Amino acid sequence: MRGSTESRRVFSLPAPLTRSAPREVALTGGGLALTVVAWLLMAGAVAAGVALHAAATRQSEAAQDFDRRSVTADAVVDRLWRKNSGDDKPAFAAFHFDANGARINGESRLPLRQWRRLSTGSTLPLRYLPDNPRRFALAGQRGGGLPLAVSYIVSSVLAALALLCFGVIHWQRRLLGEGRSALAVVTAVRTHKGSHGTTHRQIVYEFSVLAGTKATGKGTGTKSSAVGTTISVVYDPERPTRNRQYPLPLVTLDREW
């Protein structure tokens, strides 16, 4: 009789899962940490969007101002060099030009096709600001600065990551609070070796749903995980393929409930 009682304890659902739905659910430490991360990502999305938008606007206005006030000049090539040989290696030119009676020196990376057409003494067209000759740009090489779209892309990516975090927490909260519980049997144990020599175990399990059909799922194994081991799971009664091994990492049942 003692052995029979111990067997029933091993293969019965944990007491919290015997509560009928809906159950009161609280966040675990991991859930709280992920919530903080999600809010930081959301705040970062707003901050990055505003900062990058302002930077892109300033750079665009500066580029427009340069186009409006700059004048043309011919720079004389003083030296040509490449850091290494090969068609994919960068090519550079050092040059000078006269502005308001002063000699201004500069250097720039050039497209290889253009660089090959040059020699010492060749000229390169450029534009510069009369009141600030050291602000110059070779013809065809002045970019428009940071694209405005970058601010929207960065903020959207950060916001999407935040929403993903909130979504995972919400899904686990709903599954544990409203889902059904069942006993599952481990049918396979798979071992994966990480890049730093760590070992991760993944289990595959099978359980019966209320309708009598079978459903499967995957979870995290431990050193004691073995085929035939019985574990507890919670699943969505409408879509049993949505299931998780119990306990869940981000939410737990409220002990005061």
Q: How confident is the model at residue 145 (pLDDT cuts 50, 70, 90)?
A: confident
Report pLDDT for 257: 46
Q: Is the pLDDT of residue 3 over 50?
A: no
- Here the tokens at position 218 are 């995957």
The dihedrals phi and psi of 245, each to the nearest 5 degrees, come to -70, 140
- The 3 state secondary structure assigned to 107-156 is EEEECHHHHHCCCCCCEEEEEEECCEEEEEEECCCCCCCCCHHHHHHHHH
pLDDT tens for 226-246 read 999 999 999 999 999 999 999
- Predicted confidence at residue 86, as pLDDT, reads 64
pLDDT (tens digit per residue) in 23-82:
999 999 999 999 999 999 999 999 999 999 999 999 999 999 999 999 999 999 999 999
What's the confidence (pLDDT) of residue 88? 72
Whether the per-residue pLDDT at 10 is higher than 70: the answer is no
> Is 90 exceeded by the pLDDT of residue 95?
yes
pTM for the whole thing? Answer: 0.75
Q: How many CA atoms lie within 13 A of 215 on its CB side?
A: 23
| Cα(120)–Cα(93) distance, integer angstroms | 9
pLDDT of residue 200: 86
pLDDT at 7 over 60: no
- Which of the pair, 215 or 146, is modelled with greater confidence? 215
What's the pLDDT score for residue 76? 97
Place of tokens 């002990």: 255
Domain ranges for the chain: 7-25+165-252, 49-148
Nearest to 109 by CA among 123, 94, 121, 97: 94
The tally of CA atoms less than 13 A away on the side-chain side of residue 190 is 8
Neighbours of 100 (CB within 10 A): 9
- 255 falls in which pLDDT band (50, 70, 90)? low
Per-residue pLDDT, averaged over 137-149, amounts to 81
Q: For residue 38, what is the enclosing H or E element?
A: helix 29-69
Angle at 71 between CA 69 and CA 73, to 5 degrees: 160
Write the pLDDT tens digit of every residue in 173-221.
Answer: 999 999 999 999 999 999 888 777 678 899 999 999 988 899 999 999 8
Query: 91-99 and 230-235: which strand pairing?
Result: unpaired
Q: Which residue has the higher pLDDT, 89 or 14?
A: 14
The predicted pLDDT at position 192 comes to 80
**Does 49-148 carry CATH code 2.20.25?**
no
- pLDDT class for 87, splitting at 50, 70, 90? low
